[in-house]
């Protein structure tokens, strides 16, 4: 059974091929069935494989389809490596992916005609295939193929409505910014190959503790980290993700919340042996995580676009995963990756329902009082936000707490940063819930409303995700312990644990007092000049877009525009040609046709020549 694991990416690939070659010809229901069905089949195979894997004592397995290329000692295969970590990722990708695909079959916001319908599912299927290659590849080259593939699909789906140039710009930004990270990662691959003559992950990790011909584990780990921060939208490459919200909401749920953006977490977890050899790099991972999670949480606090709030929240939550990796809480990081996939997909799909019902309104300040009118969305949001805020006994609580506890073991400062982030997370997530679903109604939702108005294909995925968002953590950390080294030391149960659990509750209460009850007035704070500056600063996400524009984009545009006509090089050749032409005109003026002039020139020339000869001798 496990040998058939290669079928998992094949199904969505087949779905892509069918849908893409028949664009505009397949009627909507069939295209939807192919699109969702292919991922469903992949999920069935993935879960069966997982069952067999657990039954067989969890021994890792490599399945090789063929040797991709063989140049000298470089022979990466189209090979899949399956262990606990791979399977967790496969479950998330195919499981959550299937739910989102099913949801999408009814997403009336996405489709207007058959062509768009097929194209949407084609890209989504291609994404699932590429994402599976990323997590299943047994060598870094195959992983890189999946890595670039998901980037491509992300580009295609962010710019799905490419009629609008703004969407195209967002899509390009996402691709180019992540490619900066990818290039660093490629250099990391070169360095690893130079030292160990292989890109197969398991042998590579085994050899990494040996001697390095050139460079060091630290350098390699930093280069890999470069790739990870690009794809996972962490400092300093996180600027693309908020713009990526230009894509349809199911895309945001699948790619920009549940799966692709966590690829960096997977990559570091997969190469954790390397990071253990490079303590400096691992500390950098933790710091990147903490700083990013705080920056993004503050930004989320002041946003007004419902999808941008969720986008910054995603950046912030991935920051927790990085923090986990940085403090060697490997399993907890993957655990949080999984629970985050549940509750963030839920939040995005819920947001999609809200946005659709309100005529594509994204501004939460124009929403309100939707609790009764959109009960499905309300409960989705309430549960999703509770899990996001790590409300006790939701999935997010179980996964976030061990991260913070382990962070405390490493450094109380990391713990404090994470805890502050958890506090802000609780505030912004319930700010969202209270503003959108409580209070007075500011925009009338379109019919149909109520539970009966939600199609089953939309309601059932939401329901399942609700259940997962609550219970996803009840069974403890997923069975990936065999992949990672044991976390050393016992967690202190005492005061630290109570504080860690309690702070989010304080945040929720605070959000209640400010945004719903109104008893706590913060206008004095927000109206002060410092408050305004801070608000604007946070609203622009710490002015990072401005900074990058000034540092990179504008100079690049200026230089290229300056040299558009290749004046730096071509002017040399054109100048040569112009000089030749000029000399030509000068000399041609001597061709006067006047005999006297010729005779005089000859005489003069003779005189000069004789003079020179005499002078020389």
Partner 1 sequence: MILLWLIIVLFAGGVVAWLAEGWNKDWPRWVSLFFLGISLIIVATLFGNPLPGDGFVTGNLTNESAWLVSFYWSWIPRFGINVQLGLDGLSLLMVGLTVFLGVVAVVSSWSEIDHRPGFFQFNLMWTLAGVVGVFVSLDLFLFFFFWEVMLIPMYLLIAVWGHEDRNYASMKFFLFTQISGMLMLVAILSLVFIHHDTTGVYTFNYFDLLGTQLSESVGFWLMLGFFIAFVVKLPGFPFHPWLADAHTQAPTAASVLLAGILLKTGAYGLIRFTVPLFPSAFVEIAPYAMALGTAGVIYGALLAFAQTDFKRLIAYSSVSHMGFVLIGIYAWNQYTLQGSVMQMIAHGFSTAALFMLAGAIQHRLHTREMTKMGGLWKEMPRMGAIALFFIIASLGMPGLGNFVGEFLVLMGTFQVNIPITVVAALGLITAAVYSLIAMQRTFQGQPTAEAAYPDGLQDYGARDISVMIMMMIGLLFLGLYPQPIFDIANPVLANLHTYTPHGSPAWLGSLL
Site residues, partner 1 (CB under 8 A): 20, 23-24, 66-72, 74, 78, 115, 141, 144-145, 148-149, 152, 155, 159, 162-165, 168-169, 171-172, 175-176, 179-180, 182-183, 186-187, 189-191, 193-194, 214, 556, 559-561, 563-564, 566, 569-570, 572-573
Question: At its nearest, how many Å lie between partner 1 and the CB of residue 129?
Answer: 11
Q: How far is the CB of 285 from partner 1 (least distance, A)?
A: 22
Tell me the C-alpha to C-alpha distance, in Å, between residue 471 and each of 181, 273, 382, 464, 476. Answer: 35, 31, 15, 10, 10
Q: What are the helix (H) ranges across 232-329?
A: 240-243, 249-253, 263-270, 272-277, 279-302, 306-326
CA distances from 526 to 294, 423, 510, 521, 536 (A): 19, 19, 16, 10, 11
Q: Would you state the torsion angle of the CA atoms of residues 470, 475, 477, 481, taken in this order, to the nearest 10 degrees?
A: -160
Residue in the block written with tokens 């109570």: 498
311 with 242: CB under 8 angstroms?
Answer: yes
513 close to 520: Cβ distance less than 8 angstroms = yes
Residue 294 is given by DSSP the state H
Q: Which is nearer to partner 1, 148 or 200 (CB)?
A: 148
Angle at 407 between CA 209 and CA 242, to 5 degrees: 95
- Kindly state the smallest distance separating residue 214's Cβ from partner 1, in Å: 8
Of the pair 72, 489, the CB lying nearest partner 1 is at 72
Nearer to partner 1, 189 or 341 (CB): 189
From 325, 339, 335, select the one nearest 285 (Cα to Cα).
325
CB of 570 to partner 1, least distance (A): 4
Least Å from the CB of residue 174 to partner 1: 10
Nearest approach, Cβ of residue 307 and partner 1 (Å): 22
Instruction: Compare residues 185 and 287 and give the one whose CB is closer to partner 1.
Output: 185
User: What is the Cα–Cα distance from 349 to 377, expressed in whole angstroms?
Assistant: 8
Give yes or no for a contact between 552 and 176, defined as CB atoms under 8 angstroms apart. Answer: no
Q: How far apart are CA 334 and CA 480, in angstroms?
A: 8
Instruction: Select from 230, 130, 218 the least CA-distant residue to 174.
Output: 230
8 Å CB contact between 15 and 34: yes
Q: Which residue's CB is nearer to partner 1, number 162 or number 584?
A: 162
Instruction: Between 556 and 598, name the residue whose CB sits nearer to partner 1.
Output: 556
* Neighbouring C-beta atoms of residue 215, cutoff 10 Å: 15
Residue whose CB is less far from partner 1, 7 or 180: 180
As measured in angstroms, the least distance from the Cβ of 229 to partner 1 is: 15
3-state SS, residue 60: coil
| 20 or 548: CB nearest partner 1 | 20
**To the nearest whole angstrom, how small is the minimum distance from the Cβ of residue 76 to partner 1?**
10
| Residue among 207, 223, 205 nearest 264 (CA) | 223
CB of 147 to partner 1, least distance (A): 8
Nearest approach in angstroms of CB 190 to partner 1 is 4
Smallest gap from Cβ 239 to partner 1, in A, equals 15
Q: Which two tokens stand for residue 140?
A: 């870094």
Residue 197 or 442 with smaller CB distance to partner 1: 197
Alpha carbon distance 555, 549 (integer Å): 8
Give start and end residues of each alpha helix (H) in 441-593: 456-471, 495-511, 523-527, 529-539, 544-548, 554-562, 570-588
* Spatial contact of 12 and 42, defined as CB atoms under 8 Å apart: yes
Going by C-alpha positions, the residue among 472, 402, 476, 484 that lies closest to residue 96 is 472
When the beta carbons of 211 and 452 are compared against partner 1, the nearer one is 211
Query: Which CB atom, from 72 or from 210, has the smaller least distance to partner 1?
Result: 72
Would residue 484 be called left, alpha or beta, if left means φ above 0 and alpha means ψ between -120 and 50 degrees? beta
Q: How many Cα atoms are found within 13 Å in the side-chain-facing hemisphere of 313?
A: 38
C-beta of 11 vs 335, nearer to partner 1: 11
**Given the complex with partner 1, which of 164 and 444 has the nearer CB atom?**
164
Residue 3: DSSP 8-state: G
Q: Which is nearer to partner 1, 2 or 23 (CB)?
A: 23
CB of 158 to partner 1, least distance (A): 12
Q: How far is the CB of 246 from partner 1 (least distance, A)?
A: 13
Backbone φ, ψ for residue 50 (5° rounding): -65, -40
Least spacing, CB of residue 224 vs partner 1, in Å: 15
For partner 1, the closer CB: 207 or 442:
207
What residues contact 478, with CB distance under 8 A and at least 6 apart? 84, 88, 331, 334, 335, 338
Tokens representing residue 576 in the block: 């040569």
CB of 94 to partner 1, least distance (A): 21
């Amino acid at each position: 059974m496990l040998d058939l694991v290669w079928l998992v990416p094949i199904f969505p690939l087949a779905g892509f091929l069918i849908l893409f070659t028949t664009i505009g010809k397949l009627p909507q229901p069939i295209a939807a069935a192919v699109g969702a069905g292919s991922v469903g089949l992949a999920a069935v195979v993935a879960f069966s494989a997982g069952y067999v894997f657990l039954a067989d004592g969890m021994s890792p397995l490599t399945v090789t389809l063929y040797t991709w290329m063989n140049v000298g000692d470089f022979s990466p295969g189209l090979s899949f490596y399956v262990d606990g970590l791979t399977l967790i990722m496969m479950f998330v990708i195919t499981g959550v992916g299937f739910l989102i695909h099913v949801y999408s079959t009814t997403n009336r916001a996405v489709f207007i005609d058959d062509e768009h319908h097929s194209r949407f599912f084609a890209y989504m299927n291609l994404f699932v295939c590429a994402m599976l290659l990323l997590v299943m590849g047994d060598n870094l080259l195959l992983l890189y193929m999946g890595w670039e593939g998901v980037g491509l699909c992300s580009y295609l789906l962010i710019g799905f409505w490419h009629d609008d140039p703004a969407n195209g710009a967002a899509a390009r930004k996402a691709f180019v910014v992540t490619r900066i990270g990818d290039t660093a990662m490629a250099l990391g691959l070169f360095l690893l190959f130079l030292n160990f003559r292989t890109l197969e992950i398991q042998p590579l990790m085994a050899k990494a503790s040996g001697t390095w011909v050139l460079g060091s584990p630290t350098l390699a780990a930093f280069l890999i980290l470069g790739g990870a921060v690009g794809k996972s939208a962490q400092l300093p490459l996180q600027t693309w993700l908020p713009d990526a919200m230009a894509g349809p909401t199911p895309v945001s749920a699948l790619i920009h919340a549940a799966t692709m953006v966590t690829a960096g977490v997977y990559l570091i977890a997969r190469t954790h042996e390397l990071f253990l050899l490079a303590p400096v790099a691992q500390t950098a991972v933790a710091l990147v995580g903490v700083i990013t999670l705080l920056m993004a949480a503050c930004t989320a606090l002041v946003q007004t676009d419902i999808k941008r709030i969720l986008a910054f929240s995603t950046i912030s939550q991935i920051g927790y995963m990085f923090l986990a990796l940085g403090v060697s809480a490997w399993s907890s990081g993957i655990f949080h990756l999984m629970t985050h996939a549940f509750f963030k997909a839920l939040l995005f799909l819920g947001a999609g329902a809200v946005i659709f019902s309100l005529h594509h309104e994204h501004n939460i300040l124009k929403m309100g009082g939707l609790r009764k009118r959109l009960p499905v969305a309300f409960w989705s949001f309430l549960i999703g936000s509770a899990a996001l805020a790590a409300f006790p006994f939701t999935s997010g609580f179980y996964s976030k707490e061990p991260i913070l506890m382990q962070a405390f073991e490493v450094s109380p400062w990391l713990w404090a940063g994470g805890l502050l982030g958890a506090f802000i997370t609780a505030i912004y997530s319930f700010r969202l819930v209270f503003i959108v679903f409580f209070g007075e109604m500011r925009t009338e939702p379109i019919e149909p409303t109520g539970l009966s108005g939600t199609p089953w294909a939309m309601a059932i995925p939401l329901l399942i995700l609700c259940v997962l968002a609550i219970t996803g953590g009840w069974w403890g950390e997923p069975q990936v312990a065999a992949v990672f080294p044991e976390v050393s030391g016992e967690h202190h149960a005492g005061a630290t644990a109570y504080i860690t659990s309690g702070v989010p509750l304080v945040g929720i209460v605070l959000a209640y007092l400010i945004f719903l009850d109104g008893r706590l007035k913060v206008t004095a704070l927000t109206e002060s000049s410092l408050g305004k500056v801070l608000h604007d600063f946070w609203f622009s996400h710490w002015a990072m877009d401005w900074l990058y524009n000034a540092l990179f984009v504008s100079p690049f545009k200026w230089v290229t525009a300056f040299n558009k006509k290749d004046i730096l090089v071509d002017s040399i050749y054109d100048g040569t040609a112009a000089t030749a032409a000029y000399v030509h005109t000068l000399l041609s003026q001597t061709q006067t046709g006047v005999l006297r002039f010729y005779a005089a020139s000859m005489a003069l020339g003779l005189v000069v020549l004789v003079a020179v000869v005499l002078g020389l001798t």
